[in-house]
Homo-oligomer: A and B are copies of this chain.
Amino acid sequence: MFVKSFCIQRCRIDRWETGSRLHNEDIRAIDWIREYSKERSRLRHLAAGSPGWVRQMRLAADSSQVWCILVLTGIAVGSIAAGIDVASDWLGDLKQGVCGNVAHGGKFYLARPFCCWGAPYAECADWRSWSVILGASSSFSRFTVDYFFFLAISLVCASCASVLVIQYSPEAKQSGIPEIKTLLGGFIMHRFLGVRTLVIKSLGLCLAVASGMWLGKEGPLVHVACCCANVLMRFSPGINENEARKRATLSAAAASGISVAFGAPIGGVLFSLEQLSHYFPDKTMWASFVCATVAAVTLQALDPFRTGKLVLYQVTYHSGWHMFELVPFVLIGILGGFWGVAFIVLNMRFHRTRASTTYIFRNRPVAEVAAVALLTAVVSFPISFLRAQSSELVEMLFAECRDIHNDHLGLCKAGVANTGVIFLLLFSAGIGLALAAITFGLEIPAGILLPSMAVGALYGRAIGLVVEAWQRQQPHLLFFGSCEPDQPCVTPGTYAVVGAAAALAGTTRMTVSIVVIMFELTGALTYVLPIMVAVMVAKWVADAFGKQGIYETWISFRNYPFLDQRMDEGVGGDLLVRRIMTPYSALACIPSTGETAGSLRRLLVNSNVRGFPVIISHVKPTLLGYISRNHLEWSLGRDIQDDTPCFVQEQPTEDTIGLDLKPWVDETPITLSPHVPFHLVRDLFDRLGVRHVLFTEQGTLAGLLTKKDLCHLLDSAET
């Protein structure tokens, strides 16, 4: 049985059973159960017929392959992330100036922090802005020159990134998370994880981040990590040829992307578990953890920022929080929920507009990216908060004022109730929302996590400043009773962290991973409770407007087939399966006798389904099994003549003439009663990972339901 199913499996390349409602013909579902069987029989073959210790050695060598792949992936991801950090920082700083005397080719290869290492920000003589280099004299001409270079370099970076992606690897565009979610959910997407995608996405990401557009590198880094693992997997046939093992390895690798993006290995593992992975057993968790940690340690060893910190915006606070602060924290949570909803709605509206024929940039994706980049640069340059790169902005917003030595953003100006700063923070948050909504989804590598964090940090810090000013003005209010007199009581930086967490929760609807990522960023249990409260409130508020986060929304928008595990209640409550299955009368079935090779060939031509139930006869449709299109095509090889009788024999006897299809028929398809409730079928697809279910009533075929039908049904029910 096993050997047979193994052999058959090798030649079987199933595609979708019913292609009728299909938009993405390239996407195929995998059958987890068959893949696991394949792996089991492969292991048995590997171990068979050898003495004990040889078998042990072989099995050990085989299972060590996946660890080698993961460790190498971790090292590769850590190194790539360090490279992207260094390159995008240098390119980004180039927008404002150059290190050293550029005419004599000074240390132009240094980014601003290294050029001015140790010196105060304003007094760094080595760093020259473009206006200084070109010798602009008046303050107006200085402003113009700097503005021009800022715009020009932003534009060039963004356009290059877009051209790279569109020309060489369209799969490398956008964040890649919706695609990875679909892929890990058990579907096959071609060319999505190749070498070319890896290279283009990495290069494009440097340029995109440097362009200063409202995008992050977190999502794309997850994609890069999966590409690394996928490329390395090609050296191990045992993994590469098994779609289920491939997915387990990719789940593990995905964690390393988030690990290096946020310096949060555990956060990465939980992100993979909570957001990405369909099936995540213990073993995958450990693999994931190993990969994430190796990546983080590699990044720390390379230390691209030369700060000893894993990521730029890692912080430590000097004081705790007070109970009364829970009130602003809840407010921040509510705003985070609204941000998430507003962002998703605006983003979707923009992308629906893009699809219309009157859209000006229709079929001009590079021009579109350039226009958005130009708009971003035009708006950002005059506003100090927006001129900085997102990661630098977030770092500043998270920090306590006493830790900020180079306050070039003007965040910590003296004086109580600095309404100017508060207004500017809120204004920047608004601009950020608008820009993020039009940027996410363009033809450029672009993530949404860092922009969300930046917006959250902006409005969070604004609220923090308001509370701080209020407390300083009226320290004797009962509300502020727990503050010590004449001591700073409110730390606006913590509000920024809480705001960032709340905004992330609103956008992605994750919970644990966000709290853990923030916990690893701040390194103290102290702030876990406020972050948790804000995340929970943000999720509640956002969920009240619709359960789907940005990634699920994009999965629906793109029409990817995907079974969302979180859509647990509601849909199809009272539905009985017999209402939604394709009924027997509409199915193309093969009777066990009476067919010829010719009639079967005609059947293949006339129907586009991916497989056929086999029944005793049309008069008595008792289910005998299921034969896939490919098996049928295979069995009807060229040298079989059209008039050869084909049959499925119950008891093989040697004297029958014709073609016995029995060896190609799967005789144990999963069957259910058509009277079972809908959720049971859903559980079967979701938890067992089957690709199709046949329905029988006392042995008689009643209908068929495929995973993709179910996905589309759920999708249409939701939207």
| A residues at B contact (CB < 8 Å) | 1-2, 5, 33, 36-37, 40, 43-44, 263, 265-266, 269-270, 273-274, 281-283, 285-286, 289-290, 293-294, 296-297, 300, 310, 511-512, 515-516, 519, 523, 525, 528-529, 532, 536, 565-566, 569, 573-574, 576, 622-624, 667-668, 670-673, 675-677, 679-680, 683-684, 687-688, 696-700
By a CB distance below 8 angstroms, the chain B residues around A536 are 290
Given A525-B296, A569-B40, A699-B700, A286:B512 Cβ within 8 A: yes
Q: Check if B281 sits within 8 Å of A285, measured CB to CB.
A: no
Q: Check if B285 sits within 8 Å of A622, measured CB to CB.
A: no
CB-defined A-B contacts under 8 Å, sample of 18: A2-B574, A5-B677, A36-B679, A37-B677, A37-B679, A40-B573, A266-B266, A283-B566, A285-B511, A286-B511, A293-B515, A622-B698, A622-B699, A667-B673, A668-B680, A671-B673, A683-B688, A697-B699
A703 to chain B, nearest CB (A): 14
Q: Which of B44, B269, B310, B624 contacts A512 (CB 8 A)?
A: B269
Q: Check if A668 sits within 8 Å of B679, measured CB to CB.
A: no
Instruction: Give the number of copies in the complex.
Output: 2
Q: In the complex, which residue of chain B has the Cβ closest to the Cβ of A289?
A: B512
By a CB distance below 8 angstroms, the chain B residues around A285 are 270, 273-274, 511-512
By a CB distance below 8 angstroms, the chain B residues around A576 are 1
Told that A33-B680, A40-B679, A283-B566 touch, could you supply 10 new A-B pairs with CB distance under 8 A? Answer: A44-B573, A269-B512, A270-B285, A274-B285, A281-B565, A282-B566, A285-B512, A668-B675, A668-B680, A683-B688
Given A285-B274, A670-B672, A672-B670, A266:B698 Cβ within 8 A: no
By a CB distance below 8 angstroms, the chain B residues around A300 are 525
By a CB distance below 8 angstroms, the chain B residues around A519 are 266
Q: Within the assembled complex, what's the spacing in Å between the Cα atoms of A536 and B283? A: 12
A210 to chain B, nearest CB (A): 28
By a CB distance below 8 angstroms, the chain B residues around A293 are 515, 528-529, 532
Q: Within the assembled complex, what's the spacing in Å between the Cα atoms of A573 and B697? A: 30
Q: Within the assembled complex, what's the spacing in Å between the Cα atoms of A464 and B307? A: 30
Q: Within the assembled complex, what's the spacing in Å between the Cα atoms of A673 and B624? A: 11
Q: Within the assembled complex, what's the spacing in Å between the Cα atoms of A700 and B622? A: 11
A580 to chain B, nearest CB (A): 14
Q: Check if B310 sits within 8 Å of A525, measured CB to CB.
A: yes
Q: Which of B273, B274, B290, B528 contacts A297 (CB 8 A)?
A: B528
User: Chain A contact residues: over half helix, strand or loop, or mixed?
Assistant: helix
A311 to chain B, nearest CB (A): 12
Q: In the complex, which residue of chain B has the Cβ closest to the Cβ of A532?
A: B293
Q: Check if A698 sits within 8 Å of B623, measured CB to CB.
A: yes
Closest 8 CB pairs of A and B: A699-B699, A698-B699, A687-B687, A286-B511, A668-B673, A668-B676, A289-B512, A668-B675
Q: Within the assembled complex, what's the spacing in Å between the Cα atoms of A683 and B569? A: 24
Q: Which of B36, B266, B688 contacts A516 (CB 8 A)?
A: B266
Q: In the complex, which residue of chain B has the Cβ closest to the Cβ of A516?
A: B266
Q: Within the assembled complex, what's the spacing in Å between the Cα atoms of A36 and B293? A: 37
Q: Within the assembled complex, what's the spacing in Å between the Cα atoms of A249 and B33? A: 30
Q: Check if A33 sits within 8 Å of B683, measured CB to CB.
A: yes
Q: Within the assembled complex, what's the spacing in Å between the Cα atoms of A465 and B353? A: 69
By a CB distance below 8 angstroms, the chain B residues around A670 are 672
Q: In the complex, which residue of chain B has the Cβ closest to the Cβ of A536?
A: B290
Q: Check if A529 sits within 8 Å of B699, measured CB to CB.
A: no
By a CB distance below 8 angstroms, the chain B residues around A676 are 668
Q: Check if B677 sits within 8 Å of A2, measured CB to CB.
A: yes
By a CB distance below 8 angstroms, the chain B residues around A672 are 668, 670-671
Q: In the complex, which residue of chain B has the Cβ closest to the Cβ of A269?
A: B512
Q: Within the assembled complex, what's the spacing in Å between the Cα atoms of A273 and B300? A: 29
By a CB distance below 8 angstroms, the chain B residues around A1 are 574, 576, 675, 677
By a CB distance below 8 angstroms, the chain B residues around A688 are 683-684, 687-688
Given A40-B573, A668-B675, A699-B698, A289:B683 Cβ within 8 A: no
Q: In the complex, which residue of chain B has the Cβ closest to the Cβ of A529?
A: B297
| Residue from A265, A677, A697 whose CB has the most chain B CB atoms within 10 Å | A677
Q: Within the assembled complex, what's the spacing in Å between the Cα atoms of A675 and B2? A: 11
Q: Within the assembled complex, what's the spacing in Å between the Cα atoms of A675 and B44? A: 20
Q: In the complex, which residue of chain B has the Cβ closest to the Cβ of A290?
A: B532
By a CB distance below 8 angstroms, the chain B residues around A532 are 289-290, 293
A699 to chain B, nearest CB (A): 3
Q: In the complex, which residue of chain B has the Cβ closest to the Cβ of A511?
A: B286
Q: In the complex, which residue of chain B has the Cβ closest to the Cβ of A523?
A: B523
Q: Check if B265 sits within 8 Å of A274, measured CB to CB.
A: no
Q: Check if B675 sits within 8 Å of A289, measured CB to CB.
A: no
Q: Within the assembled complex, what's the spacing in Å between the Cα atoms of A574 and B43? A: 12
By a CB distance below 8 angstroms, the chain B residues around A44 are 573-574
A429 to chain B, nearest CB (A): 27
Q: Within the assembled complex, what's the spacing in Å between the Cα atoms of A523 and B519? A: 11
A1 to chain B, nearest CB (A): 6
Q: Within the assembled complex, what's the spacing in Å between the Cα atoms of A283 and B683? A: 16
Q: Within the assembled complex, what's the spacing in Å between the Cα atoms of A566 and B37? A: 16
A32 to chain B, nearest CB (A): 9
